[in-house]
Amino acid sequence: MSEVAATAAAAAEHAPAGDFNVGEHIMHHILDANYIELPFSSYRIQLPHIVIAGYDFSITRNVVMMWIASAILLALFISAARRTRKAAVPSGMPNALEAMVVYVRDEIARKTIDPHYADRYVGYLLTAFFFILACNLLGMIPGMSTPTSSISVTATLAGFTFVISQAGGIRNYGVLGHFKNLVPHGLPWYILPIILVVEIISTLARPFALAIRLFANMTAGHVVIVSLISLVFLLKSVWVGVGMSVPFSLFVYALEILVAFLQAFIFTMLSSLFIGLAVHPSH
């Protein structure tokens, strides 16, 4: 059963008689929590609350979803590797995974990073692509949540890209050489301070843009779906649900599957581009 049906059932459960708060229901659906709700029921699995030396290390729903995504990816790739050893020509899932791996390596990494350095970063780019894709798709399953709709998760992923790109530039050119590459060569000396400030701001803005883009796109689809379903309870009309809410929600749900792949691709492409700008500047 689709996430649309699960959302409708949850809305009916949390809506008091004669009073339905749309905003509260939307926030309940998209925010992280310390429990996991079983779909089509009122049962909740409470997650452990852990505090060590005054710091909160509690396990939340998004943390569990990331563990599940990692476990699924490990199982898929270990299984694909074993099947590939036994078969001369991979087919089925191993073939699909190999096609995506080759695409990320040849069409993203090697075309946006200098060919001499590209293969150094393919491992990170593949990890980011498949992890984001798995997290995005998990959110389409009833009872699950989307870790990439949390700004803390997307900011951490963008932070990895930032650190790896800067480390790559320093590795190739040294600390001073890397920061000298921020400024285009051949400019008059009197505008160098202004250009340097602009380039530093631009460099720091890149991970911010990565984090916000992924977070906003993955959150927006869920907000639209919940909002459309909420119209049924807000207007108290079955015909609204049959004629508008459910059909449009199913359309957005199908679109979200495409968005899940697209956002994983965009994050990987931009990460590769930013790494390429650092390790092989064009000026």
Q: Which domain covers residue 136, as residue numbers?
A: 62-279
| Confidence grade of residue 202 (pLDDT, cut at 50, 70, 90) | confident
- Residue entry with tokens 């998760």: 153
Domain assignment present for residue 221? The answer is yes
Going by C-alpha positions, the residue among 271, 26, 282 that lies closest to residue 159 is 271
Which range (14-28, 139-153, 201-215) has the least confidence?
14-28
Which range (36-45, 105-114, 204-213) has the least confidence?
36-45
Which of the pair, 149 or 226, is modelled with greater confidence? Answer: 149
- What domain count does the chain have? 1
Which pLDDT score is estimated for 13? 47
Asked if the model's pLDDT at residue 48 lies above 80, the reply is yes
Highest mean pLDDT among 155-159, 166-170, 244-248, 276-280: 155-159
CA distances in angstroms from 4 to 121, 173, 233, listed in the order given: 38, 52, 14
- Give the pairing of strands 35-37 and 44-46: antiparallel
Mean pLDDT of all residues in 25-49: 79
Which of the pair, 252 or 156, is modelled with greater confidence? Answer: 156
Name the β-bridge partners of 192.
none
Which of the pair, 173 or 234, is modelled with greater confidence? Answer: 173
Domain assignment present for residue 86? The answer is yes
Q: How far is CA 81 from the centre of its chain?
A: 25
Domain assignment present for residue 252? The answer is yes
Which pLDDT score is estimated for 248? 80
Which of the pair, 12 or 76, is modelled with greater confidence? Answer: 76
Domain assignment present for residue 101? The answer is yes
Domain assignment present for residue 137? The answer is yes
Which pLDDT score is estimated for 8? 44
Contacts of 186 (CB under 8 A, 6+ apart): none
Which pLDDT score is estimated for 12? 44
